[in-house]
Structure 1
Amino acid sequence: MWIKNARIFCEDGRFRLGSLRMETGRVQTLRLASEGWYFEELGEEQAPEEDAPSPASFEGEQQEGEDCLDACGGLLIPGLIDLHFHGCLGEDVCDGKLEGMRRIARYEAENGITAICPATLTLPEEELCQVLHTMSEWRRMQEPEEAELVGINMEGPFISKAKKGAQNGAYIRRCDVGTARRFLEASGGLVKLIGIAPEVNPGFEDYIREISSELRVSLAHSNADYETAGRAFRAGAVHVVHLYNAMTGLSHRAPGAVGAVFENPAVTAELITDGVHIHPMMVRLAFRQLGQERAILISDSLRSAGMPDGRYLLGGQEIEKRGKLCTLVPDGNIAGSVSNLMDCFRTAVLEMEIPFADALLAASRNPARRLGIEDAHGTICEGKLANLVLLDQTLRIRRVFREGREVRGENSKNV
């Protein structure tokens, strides 16, 4: 199948007029004009260069009977990748129910998130291992209309009670290599990230150095100061869970873990850009400090995403959704997000003044790199999976393709 007359997003941050052909689930052929424009320039009258190929010039490569979609100048972007979320539609991956996981993955795909790395909650070890095993079984039987399960992000249980947020403090425990390896084995190798609060885990540097050859270690729900966080990064931790949230903040006398993140160029950082968790100015500050390479947009969505206002459960605790806000019922602490990653991407661009290219790379290429799947995911290139989203100029979804298969069309119900 061909898609022609599209403005195709390229890794340099520009859109170029072009066409592409999808075959056997991958981008087989990509034809691009030489001139490109940033998203912020697309509303301006820009004449293409004389040598820019027109969509008609690609039609000679179209085989007889082959489908061709005219994008009519729509924006073609890579499918998004959410490496930290818990659920939606009343389902949570930690429920351990196969059909619930499938509902989650279909919802994500329909919303332009074509690859997922769900996060686990802080639960008893035996229960976590069972959830991980079920997810590994699900991975082997995934259906084409589901977002691809590309990893698992273990947010707990090696976190701090002082910064537990909405995690269940009853099941927090000390880190050890043996437990981490049992998690990895139960998941069939799907666990890609595992969190730690270094300040409450004696010997954390040895633990990080040993497990880093098998898993990527992240700073998660931590009360670590600037110095301790820096030691964790120097030992080999490479990622931080939801920057600013459930961690020590940035101050002129105490830079905190946030300061250590900004200062360490090998560390990637998650940002929840739902309009609730972080003030827009602090999001802009993070992008200036992290650049185009290190920021990663996440949703951190809960089972209440895509659901009406009301009360739901999170790891055995009651939460309440009101509009875009979701809180723990007893104390009112923010519990997580009710927005999917596409919504967070739109919010970053349209409400937080994050440049389109920066936000999109943070929701596609950068998570692919952190998970080690950039050979197949994250950008539109020949040979990569044909995970594509066609947007209109207002960033609303027109179509979604997962490995070349259309999972959402022009007339689909807006989910």
Structure 2
Amino acid sequence: MIIRNVKVYTEDKRFVDGEIAIQDGRIESVGPSADLVTGDDTILDGEGCYALPGLIDIHFHGCKGYDFCDGTQEAIRKIAEYEASIGVTAISPATMTLPVNELEEILAVAANYRKEAKKKAIGTDVAADLVGVNMEGPFISEEKKGAQDERNIITCDSDICQRFLDASEGLVKFVGIAPERNEDASEFIRKMKDQVHISLAHTNADYDTAMAAFDAGADHAVHLYNAMPAFTHRKPGVVGAVSDSTHVNAEMICDGIHIHPSVVRATFKMLGAHRIVLISDSMRATGMPEGQYTLGGLDVNVADGRATLVSNGALAGSATNLMECMKTVVQKMGISLETAVACATMNPAKCLGIYDAYGSLTPGKKGNVVLLDKELNLKAVVKDGMRIR
């Protein structure tokens, strides 16, 4: 396939006029037409659209009525198909705080799903690639549990964590903890950090406790500002510790509901765009009519674009996909398209350790390309060199 007449997003975060050649599911070359050679004579006229890498969502729970924690091949497949259809071509879904045995079973299903997906012929799959799992629980705090079920919360345990990693066959990429709940949190981090990214998630940690966790090797923050102490001038909390720990990357839900646009802009200035990963945190109501759904076994009401627990009105994930979040960042929050694209493609790929194959339109990487018009409307999705939308 050759994608012509597009503004190609480059690794130095610019858009340049050019074309993209894809052969055998991989990007063969990028440049002016005279430089492109491919054995596939399929031509896609981009009509002046922006061409960017397929988006990567490293933290979301579900969509189209399905949840990753349903623990079935069908659920993962339906989720992956929807995500690909809206331009998210690689996914790392999140677990909820559930019983340990149940989480092991969910992770084993995901591992088997990935093995079966890899058997498919190149250029035949219309589903997003399952490239990781983000464990949001069960090592979290009751105080900041949010929409998590506190009955299943436990303290950090390296043996249990290893069971999760083994069940997933290496698919788990992030394990969230609340370090203040365990005096041995730093020991847990040092023991596990060479196998998996340790993130601070649903935590009530103060600044010193968060800094100790980051100094021990934790390097990620789950949905910054949400389910953690407020960032104030005398108590900077987790947010202040993230700011001072330059090796730490931070997720942000930019659906226009979870974080005020002014705070989003301030955070880009404070951390730098290279440390921010846009996520959707979407739940099963995404892509569905508003109404009542469930998340982690708890009832959720979705109305006016907000997903809230029926029990207490707390936010329960989002009903917005990553593509819409990226558009919101640009159109309603004043972040440049060039910056927003990096935070939804390059940065998550680097966090997952898959930047060799995903996250940029570079020869040798997977032929996943999204075309957006000037108003950022989705015009086409190419997955492994095959147009799927």
Task: State the TM bucket, normalised to the shorter chain.
Answer: over 0.9
Q: Could you tell me which residue of structure 1 aligns to residue 223 of structure 2?
A: 242
CA contact (8 A) 2:23 2:38 kept: no
Task: Select 2:211's aligned residue among 218, 226, 230.
Answer: 230
- Matched to 2:58, the amino acid is L
Other-structure match for 1:209: 190
Give 2:76's aligned amino acid. M
Match of 1:311 in 2: 292
For 2:57, give the aligned amino acid: D
Q: What amino acid sits opposite 1:73 in the alignment?
A: G
- Of 44, 60, 66, the match for 2:41: 66
Q: Which of 95, 98, 109 is the aligned partner of 1:134? A: 109
Q: CA deviation at 1:58?
A: 5.0
Q: Any residues of structure 2 matched to 1:399-410 within 5 Å, and which?
A: 399-408=380-389
Give me the whole-angstrom Cα distance separating, in 2, the residues matched to 1:69 and 1:406. 9
1:193 paired residue number: 174
| Cα shift readout 1:152-192 (whole Å, capped 9, x = no counterpart) | 00000000000000000000001111101100010111000
How many percent of aligned residue pairs carry the same amino acid? 48
Aligned to 1:106: 81
Q: Select the residue among 68, 87, 90 that pairs with 1:93.
A: 68
| AA aligned opposite 1:7 | K
2:251 — aligned with what?
270
Who is 2:13 aligned against?
A: 13
Code of the aligned partner of 2:326:
F
What amino acid does structure 1 have at the position aligned with 2:387?
E
Q: Give the C-alpha shift of residue 334 in structure 1.
A: 0.7
1:303 CA drift (Å):
0.4
RMSD, matched Cα: 1.1
Aligned equivalent of 1:78, options 48, 53, 68: 53
SS at match of 2:139: coil
1:351: how far off?
Answer: 0.5
> What CA deviation, in whole Å up to 9, does each residue of 1:192-230 have, x standing for no partner?
000000000120001100100111100000000011100
Structure 1 or 2, whichever has the larger Rg, is 1
Task: Report the Cα distance in structure 2 between the residues aligned to 1:220 and 1:201, rounded to whole angstroms.
Answer: 14
CA distance in 2, matches of 1:11, 1:344: 21
Partner amino acid, structure 1, of 2:97:
T
Cα distance between partner residues in 1 of 2:246 and 2:22 = 36
Task: Please name the residue that 1:364 is paired with.
Answer: 345
Q: C-alpha separation between the residues in 2 aligned to 1:281 and 1:23?
A: 43
Q: Give the whole-Å Cα distance in 2 for the aligned partners of 1:378 and 1:20.
A: 15
Q: Which one-letter code corresponds to 2:54 in the other structure?
A: G
* 2:258 equivalent to 1:285: no
Deviates more, 1:292-301 or 1:9-18: 9-18
Q: Offset at 1:62?
A: 5.5
**Which amino acid letter does the alignment assign opposite residue 112 of structure 1?**
G
> Which of 346, 349, 371 is 1:390 aligned to?
371
Measured in 1, the distance between the counterparts of 2:188 and 2:221 equals 17
Moved segments of 4+, more than 3 Å: none
Contact map agreement 1:19 1:58 (CA 8 A) in 2 = no
CA distance in 1, matches of 2:236, 2:38: 58
Partner of 1:258 in structure 2? 239
Report the counterpart of residue 305 of structure 2 in structure 1.
324
* Matches of 1:17 and 1:29, distance apart in 2: 14
Q: Which amino acid aligns with 2:127?
A: E
SS in 1 for 2:271: helix
* Residues 28 and 38 in structure 2, CA contact (< 8 A), matched pair in contact too: no
What amino acid is the match of 2:42? D
1:1-28 deviations in Å (ceiling 9; x for gaps): 1111111011222111111210111101
Q: Which amino acid aligns with 2:25?
A: G
Alpha-carbon distance in structure 2 between the residues aligned to 1:62 and 1:227: 56
Q: Which residue of 2 aligns with 1:343?
A: 324
One-letter amino acid of the structure 2 residue matched with residue 11 of structure 1: E
Deviates more, 1:397-406 or 1:144-153: 397-406
Tell me the TM-score normalized by structure 2: 0.97
Answer whether contact 1:22 1:404 (CA < 8 A) is retained.
yes
Judge which range, 396-405 or 231-240, deviates more.
396-405
* SS of match in other structure, 1:389: strand
The yes-or-no answer on 1:23 pairing with 2:4 is: no
Q: Which amino acid aligns with 1:75?
A: Y
- Residues paired across the two proteins, number: 383
Match in the other structure for 1:48: none
TM-score (norm 1): 0.91
Unpaired segments ≥5 residues, structure 1:
33-54, 409-415
The Cα of 1:236 is off from its aligned counterpart by 0.1
